[in-house]
């Protein structure tokens, strides 16, 4: 369990609060809007109304005692930037800030953010890859080139073994696991036979995946 300071209880901040609550973390939610604070009371450990650009207010929260500080302020980049900078100046251990437009990430990283999330861009990338393909069911980006992909099995692969397909040598793709009925099996062997009712967890580059699956 971690202690989390969440500044900004708009739509995105509220979704983060819900997930943190489900994961069992302690969350202090902050927003200058009383209505948003009241709406979030059921999904955070505690909540306060306050101006996060006010140094005295942030100092009173003891920001250095939190494991993570999220800055999810919406539609006010100046406040987001000031808050991020103040958090770091006051000793915050780890600051995650939200970007809403291109170019904001650079400024946030320069002014104290340890990590920046850009939800609109990240979801757009995911949706473009996911729904423009007949085989990709989900994916997680690892770096600028490599990702983990959950892919359905082409009909031509059904009944064949992993070693027969030999996609690691041909396409530099690695089969990490098999998924069936929502359960993962990571004990994939060369003689594992692929069935129609399973999906594959594959590690590699998207271009290699395109060639392999003829996307």
What's the CA gap between 81 and 66, in Å, rounded? 19
Could you please state the CATH topology (level 3) that the domain comprising 3-117 is classified under: Rossmann fold (3.40.50)
pLDDT at 90: 96
What's the CA gap between 174 and 60, in Å, rounded? 50
* Phi/psi at 78 (5° precision): -60, -45
Domain ranges of the chain: 3-117, 122-213
Calculate the average pLDDT of the chain.
Answer: 92
Each residue's pLDDT tens digit, 95-152: 999 999 889 999 999 999 999 999 888 888 888 888 887 788 888 888 878 889 999 9
Two structure tokens written together for 125: 């990338």
Two structure tokens written together for 23: 């994961």
Each residue's pLDDT tens digit, 7-35: 999 999 999 999 999 999 999 999 999 99
Could you please state the CATH topology (level 3) that the domain comprising 122-213 is classified under: Alpha-Beta Plaits (3.30.70)
DSSP 90-145: TT-S-EEEE--STTHHHHHHHTT-SEEE-HHHHHHHHHHHHHT-SSEEEEEE-SSS
- How many CB atoms sit inside 10 A of residue 156's CB? 8
- What's the average model confidence in pLDDT over 188-204? 91
- What's the average model confidence in pLDDT over 70-79? 95
Q: Using 50, 70 and 90 to split pLDDT, how confident is the model at 47?
A: very high
Considering only CA atoms, which of 202, 208, 204, 198 is closest in space to residue 152? 198
Domains 3-117 and 122-213 alike in fold: no
């Amino acid at each position: 369990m971690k202690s989390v300071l969440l500044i900004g209880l708009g739509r995105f901040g509220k979704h983060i609060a819900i997930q943190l609550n489900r994961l069992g973390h302690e969350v202090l939610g902050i927003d200058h809007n009383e209505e948003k604070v009241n709406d979030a009371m059921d999904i955070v450990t505690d909540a306060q109304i306050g101006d996060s650009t006010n140094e005295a207010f942030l100092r009173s929260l003891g920001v250095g005692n939190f494991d993570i500080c999220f800055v999810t302020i919406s539609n006010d980049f100046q406040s987001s930037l000031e808050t991020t900078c103040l958090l770091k100046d006051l000793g915050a251990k780890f600051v995650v800030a939200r970007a809403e437009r291109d170019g904001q990430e650079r400024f946030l990283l320069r002014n104290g953010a340890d990590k920046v999330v850009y939800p609109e861009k990240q979801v757009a990338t995911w949706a473009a890859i996911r729904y423009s393909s007949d085989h990709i069911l989900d994916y997680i980006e690892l770096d600028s080139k490599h990702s983990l992909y959950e892919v359905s099995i082409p009909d031509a692969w059904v009944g064949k073994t992993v070693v027969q397909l030999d996609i690691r040598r041909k396409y530099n793709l690695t089969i990490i696991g098999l998924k069936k009925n929502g359960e993962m099996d990571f004990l994939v062997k060369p003689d594992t036979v692929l069935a129609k009712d399973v999906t594959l967890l594959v590690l590699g580059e998207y271009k290699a995946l395109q060639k392999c699956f003829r996307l």
